[in-house]
Structure 1
Amino acid sequence: MTTSAGPPTVETIATRAGVSVASVSRVLNGHGARPNTVRRVRQAASELGYVPNGVARSLKGGRTRQLTFALPDVGNPVYAAMVRRIQAAAKPAGYRLLLHATDAVAADELDVVRALADRTSDGLILVPIRVTAEHLRVLADAAGPVVVIGSLPDGAPVDSVRADSVTGAVLAVRHLLASGRRRIAFVGGPADTVPGRNRALGYGIALEEAGLALDPALTATTEFGIAAGAAATHRLLDADPDIDSVLCANDQLALGAVHAALDRGLRVPDELAVAGMDDSELARAGRPALTSVDLGAAERGRIAAEMLLARLGGGRHPVRCATVAPRLVVRGSTAASAGRAS
C-alpha cells in the first residue's frame, strides 16, 4: 500500500478511491452519495489515515457538533452521574461530549471558557466550586453559550442549575437529632468553596433551630476526599470522645469518617452515626450503607444539558436559574440504636 507524502486531502482520497473530488467532499460532509461510492471513499480515507477536522468544519458550517463538560474531579462519582445524563441528552441531538478536568483550579476554568473562541466546541457546561469576580467577567464575555452547574450570584450573565445544599444539610441534622443524637459534629469542605460554605451554613441553621449552640470544637474543615475525612474525624474524636454523630459535607468525607470510626473500634451507627451528602455511588456501596442527602446530581446534569441545547437551538431567552430540591436517603449508617430516642 502506498502512502501520501503529507496529510491526506480530498484530492489524495479521490485518487485512492477512484472517484471525483466532489464525491469525496459529499461523503466526508455527510451529504450522501451512492452506497458503493460511500464505501470506497471511507475505505480510502481510512487507509490514508484521514481524521475529520472539527475546527475546519466549524469554520465552514458554524458548528463542531461538540460540547465540553468541565468538571473539578474525575474521581468523584457525583460528576460521573452528571456525565451520564449530559451525554444522554447531547447524543440524540447530534453532539459529541468532550470532558475536561479542571481540578478546581480557577485559571483552568477560566481558560476553558475562553477556549470557546477557538471554535473547537459549540458550548460549555462548567462546574466551578469557587466563583470569583473574574469568573463572572469571563462568563459574560464568552464566545459561545455556557451553563454553570453551581450557585452563582444574582444577576450572573449565564444560565445555571444549582443544588440546595443549605436545606440538604438541615435535613440531615434534623434526622440525626430525631434518631437521638445530640453531640453532632460536622466535617466540611474548604470554606472558600460554594459547597463547603453552604453545607456548613445548613449545619448551623439546623442546630440553632433545635436550640443547640454551634460549638466550633465540633467542626472541622478540610479538603474533599476520603483520607481527608478520616483525618478530620480522628481530630474531632481526639478532642471530644463524646461525639455521637458526624455530618460530612460529601460522601467521600463520610466514607473517611466511617474508616476513622472503624480504626478506633467504634461501631457504626451504634457508637457513631455518620451521614454524608450527594448520595453518590459511594453511599450505596458502603458497609453499612451511608445515609446521605441526594442533591440531584443526575438531574442537575440533565437540566444543564437541556439549557445548553436550548441556547444552541437559537432564539433569545432570559437567563435562567434552576434549583434542584434535596432529598434525604436514610440507610444503615444512622439507624437509631437501642436506648436512643427515635
Structure 2
Amino acid sequence: MHTVAARAGVSIASASRVLNGVGGSEETIRKVRAAAAEVGYVPNAIARSLQSQRTGLVALAVEDIGNPVYVSMMRAIEAVVAASGRQLLVHATGGQIANETSLLRRLANRYVDGMILSPIRVTDDHLAALVQSPVPVVVVGQLGADAPVDNVRTDSRHGVALAVDHLVGTGRRRIGFVNGPLDTVPGAARDAGFRAALDRHGIGLDEDLVEVGDFQYAAGRAAAERLLARARPDALVCANDLIAVGALHALLAAGHRVPEDVAVVGMDDTELAQMMFPQLSSVSLGSAERGRRAAELLLTRIADPSLPPRREQVPPSLAVRASSRVAVPGPRPSTEELPS
C-alpha cells in the first residue's frame, strides 16, 4: 500500500480508499490503479472485507439470464459496478417467488454489499423481506408508492398505448394482443394498457383477439396459433419481443404476409427485433437505462444508507420498423420460404 501511494503521489489514505472501492477523484483513481498495476499490487480480499465490513460484491437477481431483456440490463449494471471496483454476482430465479424471497433472506448473511432484484411478481413476502434486509436492495420493476425501497420502473401501460396508437394510425382496427401471465406485474400492466388504449380509440375489445401464454418464444408462437385459428386480426401487439418473434413465425407459417396482412409490434426492443426479417417494430422499455440507474442507486445507497427511498421512471419509446409500416401489397410468399 505504501509503495502504491508513493508511486501514485497520493496519501496512503487516498490510495486505500481507491483500492478498497470507496472512491476518489477520477485523477486519483487513475493514478492509484496505474501504480497498483505497475507494482503488481493485489489487495487481500479477506483482510479488506474484515476491515471495511464490505465484500466488494453486488448481486443481481433476475428471472432468466438468457432473456435478451436481462442481458441488456445486466451489461449496463456490470459496467457501473465494475467502475466502482466491485464485482457482480448474478442469480437466475426462474421467476419463482420462493427463490427470490430466499435470496432476500440470505442477505442477513451479508454475503454481498447490496442487491438489485427484478421480480415479475411482487408479493407480501417480497415486501416483508425487502423491508427487513440488512443490506441495500434496489428493485427494478413496479412497487407500491408506500414501499420504502429504492425502485426503478418503466410505464408498461403507456408502452402498450404507443403500440396501439401507431397501429391505429396505420389504419389497423382488428388489433390482437398476445400477452404473458396476468398474475405478473408486467402482464397485468400491459393487459390494462391494451384495453385502455383500444377504448380511447373507440375500438371495442374482441376477446377472441386476446391470448395469454408466458413470456417465451414457444408460448408466444403457440398463443398466436390459437388466436389465428379463431380470429382474423390485422395487427398483433405482443407483450415482449420473444413472444413477437413466435407470433411472426406463426403468421408466416400460416401464409400471412407481414405487414401487408398482419402488422406485428413487440415490446422491449431487444437485439432480436433488428435480427428478424422483416425487422420487428418494438416498444423500448429502457432495459439498459433501468439497469444503469438501478446500479447507481444501489451504490449511492451503499455509501449512505440514511438517504430517503428514491423512485425513478424510465419512459417507453416506440421504434417503428418493417413489421408494422404501411406496405404496398405484393405477391404472397411461397410456402417453401416460410419457417416451419
Give the share of equivalent positions with the same residue, in percent: 48
The aligned residue for residue 314 of structure 2 is 324
Picking from 69, 74, 81, the partner of 2:72 is 81
Output one character per residue of 1:136-182: Cα deviation in whole Å (capped at 9) or x when no partner.
00100001000000000121121000011000000100101111111
In the alignment, what sits opposite 2:131?
Answer: 140
**Does structure 2 retain, via aligned residues, the 8 Å contact 1:58–1:119?**
no
Work out the CA distance in 2 between the residues paired with 1:290 and 1:307: 32
Q: Which has the larger radius of gyration?
A: 1
Structure 2 letter corresponding to 1:314:
D
Corresponding residue to 1:96 among 87, 91, 102: 87
Amino acid at match of 2:227: L
Structure 1 residue ranges, 4+ long, deviating more than 2 angstroms after superposition: 51-54, 56-61
2:90 aligned counterpart, secondary structure:
strand
Instruction: Output the CA distance in 2 between the equivalents of 1:70 and 1:238.
Output: 38
Counterparts of 1:334 and 1:193 in 2: how far apart (Å)?
27
The gaps in structure 2 that reach 5 residues or longer are 1-18, 21-31, 330-340
SS in 1 for 2:283: strand
Does residue 1:151 correspond to 2:142, yes or no?
yes
| Structure 1 residues 1-342: aligned runs within 5 Å | 57-240=48-231, 242-314=232-304, 316-338=306-328
Task: Calculate the TM-score normalised by the size of structure 1.
Answer: 0.82
Alignment check: 8 A CA contact 2:178 2:211 kept: yes
Q: Cα offset for 1:53?
A: 6.1
Q: Structure 1 CA distance, aligned partners of 2:196 and 2:128?
A: 32
Secondary structure of residue in 2 paired with 1:91: helix
Deviation at 1:228, TM superposition (A): 0.7
C-alpha deviation, 1:337, in angstroms: 2.8
5+ residue gaps, structure 1, are: 1-29, 43-50
Distance 1:61 1:326 in 2: 40
Contact 2:136 2:305 in 1 (8 A): no
- Secondary structure class of the residue paired with 1:140: helix
Report the Cα offset of residue 338 of structure 1. Answer: 3.6
**SS of equivalent residue, structure 2 residue 204:** coil
**Residue by residue, what CA displacement relative to the aligned partner does 1:114-147 show, whole Å, maximum 9, x if unpaired?**
1222122100000000000110001000010000
Task: Calculate the TM-score normalised by the size of structure 2.
Answer: 0.83
Say whether the 8 Å CA contact 1:136–1:157 is kept in structure 2: no
Question: Displacement, 1:59?
Answer: 4.0
Q: Is the CA contact 1:114–1:143 (under 8 Å) kept in the aligned structure 2?
A: no
Alpha-carbon distance, 1:94 to partner: 1.1
